[in-house]
Amino acid sequence: MIQAPTKTTDLLAVTGLGVAYGDPAAPVRAVVDVDLTVGRGESVGIVGESGSGKSTLLRALLGLHGSGAAVSGGIAVDGVQLAHDPAAMRRVRGGTVSMVFQDPVNAFNPAYTLGSQLGRLVALHRPELGREQRRAHVAAMLDRVGIPAHRTRSHPFEFSQGQLQRCMIAAAFLAGRPALVLADEPTTSLDVTVEAQIVELIRDLRAELGMSMVLVTHNLGLVADLCDRVHVMYAGRFVEHTTIRGLFDSPAHPYTRALLKSAPDLDRVRESRGSRLPTMRGGVPDLAAPPPGCPFAPRCDEHLGEVCDRDLPELLPVPLMPAARTAHGTAPAGQASDTLPRPGDVRARCHRHAASALSGGTAVEGVKA
């Protein structure tokens, strides 16, 4: 049964999403109370270190979280609620919402040729095409991503990783022409030169087809390149929501600042030759037994004391901050990321902001250069 639309403006509307694994009495809460919206044609990034729950969140959006997971909350695509309706979820897969996988080598079936795998997707989502038209469509798809058409008869093991990621992009972007593409670290497994080509390809296809995108990555440069706004995720929760310019110029959450400091930067490396690159101490907390207060408190350099260890902060709007150039540097100019944050654009889950908001402060303490 198709349910009534939730909200017409957003293509994707996620509310209070939770994903938990294991014993219901002591679950591992991989994703907790996530709210996310993506408008038509918009690109939203989700960043965070490994184990923060980014990929779990992305897979849950397509119901690919596995049978051992308990999912709560709402996922609406084009106004249709999918979270607890497996049939509706299956209907949107590939056609309305598609996905780019991190490791293309393992994401294609080794037993079939690329042509047959792409042809099957075209047959599913474009049933009106006959066999010859389908074949031509597959060849055109491959041609569009820079793979010669005669390679349709090759098997996945006969391609390089970069070529396979191009094929993956063809499958995700062109087979079903979805309205929304979920990209799960699409360049992580590639070398730097191939990475640049793939980023360009994704940017071109989005511009050409006007698709929305949710991009999960730990590569902040990729977010600057491809996204309009960004969520920072830590221990299964969003800890900051901001614009790209906000992310690079005035990160609001201590975790975001630590993340930016930890990102390798050629200029900084050149300046600090001989000294070690800054790293974030500790690791993500055990999601089966997270700390009672702020999950980042044990690693936080701006720890406020008892309140951080005791209470979980809310995701609250952050008062507008003066642009503070971070150690990482300002986001590249002339791109979508150039937008300055407006009031309400930036929200963070930090006691420092709650205290600042209560005292009527306008700027955030602790924004360090």
**For residue 10, what are the β-bridge partners?**
39
Task: Choose one: 5-13, 27-35, 43-51, 57-65; the region binding other proteins (CB under 8 A).
Answer: 57-65
The site for other proteins, by CB under 8 A, has a size of: 29
> How is residue 170 written in tokens?
């063809």
Q: How many helices (H) and strands (E) does the chain have?
A: 13, 12
User: If binding is defined by CB under 8 A, does position 93 make contact with other proteins?
Assistant: yes
Task: Choose one: 12-20, 151-159, 267-275, 347-355; the region binding other proteins (CB under 8 A).
Answer: 151-159
Q: Which amino acid is at 140?
A: A
User: If binding is defined by CB under 8 A, does position 109 make contact with other proteins?
Assistant: yes
User: If binding is defined by CB under 8 A, does position 125 make contact with other proteins?
Assistant: yes
User: If binding is defined by CB under 8 A, does position 106 make contact with other proteins?
Assistant: yes
For residue 79, give every residue at least 6 positions away whose Cβ sits within 8 Å of its Cβ, in sequence order, or none.
Answer: 4, 5, 6, 7, 8
From candidates 172, 202, 331, 348, binder to other proteins by CB under 8 A: 172
Tell me if 244 sits within 8 A of 336, measured CB to CB: yes
How far apart, in whole angstroms, are the C-alpha atoms of residue 64 and residue 13? 17
Q: Strand pairing of 10-21 and 28-39? A: antiparallel
Q: Is 82 left (phi over 0), alpha (psi -120 to 50) or beta?
A: alpha
Q: Is the dihedral of CA 84, 87, 90, 96 positive or negative?
A: negative
Q: How far is the CB of 160 from other proteins (least distance, A)?
A: 16
DSSP for 291-324? -SS-TTGGG-TT--SHHHHH-PPP-EEPPP----
From candidates 7, 90, 310, 325, binder to other proteins by CB under 8 A: 90
User: If binding is defined by CB under 8 A, does position 126 make contact with other proteins?
Assistant: no
Q: Which amino acid is at 303?
A: H
Task: Choose one: 2-10, 90-98, 143-151, 302-310; the region binding other proteins (CB under 8 A).
Answer: 90-98
Task: Choose one: 117-125, 242-250, 337-345, 346-354; the region binding other proteins (CB under 8 A).
Answer: 117-125
User: If binding is defined by CB under 8 A, does position 121 make contact with other proteins?
Assistant: yes
User: If binding is defined by CB under 8 A, does position 175 make contact with other proteins?
Assistant: yes
Nearer to other proteins, 54 or 349 (CB): 54
Query: Under the rule (CB under 8 A), what is the footprint of other proteins?
Result: 59, 62, 64, 90, 93-95, 98-99, 101, 103, 106-111, 113, 120-121, 124-125, 155, 157-158, 171-172, 175-176
